[in-house]
Amino acid sequence: MIAEKLKDVSPIYSSWLGKPVVLLVTIRQCNVPMPCSIIGESLSDVRVRVQPGSEMDIRKKLILAVEADAVGVNALVN
């Protein structure tokens, strides 16, 4: 029965895969904008790349909003 229910679930963040975005994430009761690139998605987590070589999983329940990043993650100069 569980497998049948999972077939009906469509990934919410799949349209953002590989694109530079800004996630609004709740961390310790604060809303924090996080520039990143979404690289994967599971039922409960979103895998993001915050900079080349640095990836992390974020719980979907902590993500409040997703916007396209006009600057882009890789365009930032150190």
Task: Tell me which of 3.40.50.150, 3.40.50.1000, 2.30.30.100, 3.30.470.10 is the CATH number of domain 2-75.
Answer: 2.30.30.100
Domain locations in the chain as residue ranges: 2-75
**pLDDT tens for the chain, residues 1 to 78:** 344 444 555 578 888 898 999 999 998 999 999 999 999 998 899 999 998 889 999 999 999 999 998 775 555 555
Instruction: Report the Cα 40 to chain-centroid distance in Å.
Output: 8
